Amino acid sequence: LSSLVVAEHDNSHLLSSTLSAVTAAAQLNGDITMLVLGHDSEGVAKQAAHVAGVSKVLHADDPAYGTWVAENVSRAVATVQANGAYSHILAVSSMAGKNFVGRLGAELDCAPVTDILKVVDEETFVRPMYAGNAVATVRAAGALKILTVRPTSFEKAEATGGTASVEIAVPPESGADAGLASFVSESVSGGDRPDLTTARVVVAGGRGLKDGENFKILEKLADKLGGAVGASRAAVDAGFVANELQVDLAVL
């Protein structure tokens, strides 16, 4: 058994959600390789090498990977898989993870199991359906398993203590940029608050807050607690706050 964990990061920091994916990989009892795809991301590769339990880091640095365009990420992972023949590929169950994992499944002819809450054994996993109102235990056939891991369902692996080697990942034959969709711009909201998917404390509000203005009360409390602000689907649907604040199971 051998696992490839696709690291999630912002080109300077490894996100703690990746540490949860490492824990899920560790429960599969195989060798763990971490893949860092980014731009100006040497720092992330170094952090990845220090994560406890990781034995090797594969690093690919290219402008095409800096903004996580799915076509480029998916192709890079497929190339690494073709050279490494891992038994499991794990990614974080985030919007970034979901963006490329389906595509990777098509490229590798593998049915991913997304949003796993628990590893039962190397081929059996627990995942939610119906917005978390049903919990399914599923067994995946085939030599390769592609998984996305819900970060809040797994403890975080220790960020230090590891001594993995860092190697350059094998690049796709036709280059890093697949030449399909391309990045134009991005806007980041939320400022310094911790990421909702990994925050230790979440202060969430619903329709009862009546309008978006009143969420500022929650923001103050969240900042005092060092937490993130969340919102129910009803509050998001009513337009009080942006979509990325939704904490109902459907989007996590």
Report the 10 Å Cβ neighbour count for 163: 9
Q: Between residues 168 and 181, which has the closer beta carbon with respect to another protein?
A: 181
User: Positive or negative, the Cα torsion across 104, 106, 110, 113?
Assistant: positive
Pairwise CA distance, residues 246 & 252, whole Å: 8
Q: How far is the CB of 213 from another protein (least distance, A)?
A: 19
157 binds another protein (CB under 8 A): no
Pairwise CA distance, residues 62 & 185, whole Å: 17
Q: How far is the CB of 45 from another protein (least distance, A)?
A: 21
Please report, for residues 41, 68, 95, the alpha-carbon distance to residue 11 in angstroms, rounded to integers and kept in the order given. Answer: 5, 10, 17
Classify 33 in phi/psi space as left (phi over 0), alpha (psi -120 to 50) or beta: beta
Give me the half-sphere count of Cα atoms (radius 13 Å) on the Cβ side of residue 136: 11
Residues 31-90 that bind another protein (CB under 8 A): 67, 69-71, 74
Residues 172-201 that bind another protein (CB under 8 A): 180-190, 195-197, 200-201
Q: Which residue has the tokens 């080109």?
A: 11
217 binds another protein (CB under 8 A): no
Q: Between residues 200 and 220, which has the closer beta carbon with respect to another protein?
A: 200
Q: How far is the CB of 113 from another protein (least distance, A)?
A: 6
220 binds another protein (CB under 8 A): no
Q: What is the DSSP annotation of 204-246?
A: EE-GGG-SGGGHHHHHHHHHHHT-EEEE-HHHHHTTSS-GGGB
Q: How far is the CB of 55 from another protein (least distance, A)?
A: 28
Sole binder of another protein in the list 1, 135, 217, 234 (CB under 8 A): 135
Residues 84-103 that bind another protein (CB under 8 A): 94-96, 98-103
Q: How far is the CB of 166 from another protein (least distance, A)?
A: 26
CB 89 within 8 A of CB 82: no
Query: Which residues sit at the interface with another protein, rule CB under 8 A?
Result: 67, 69-71, 74, 94-96, 98-107, 109-115, 124, 128-142, 180-190, 195-197, 200-201, 225, 227, 236-237, 242-244, 250
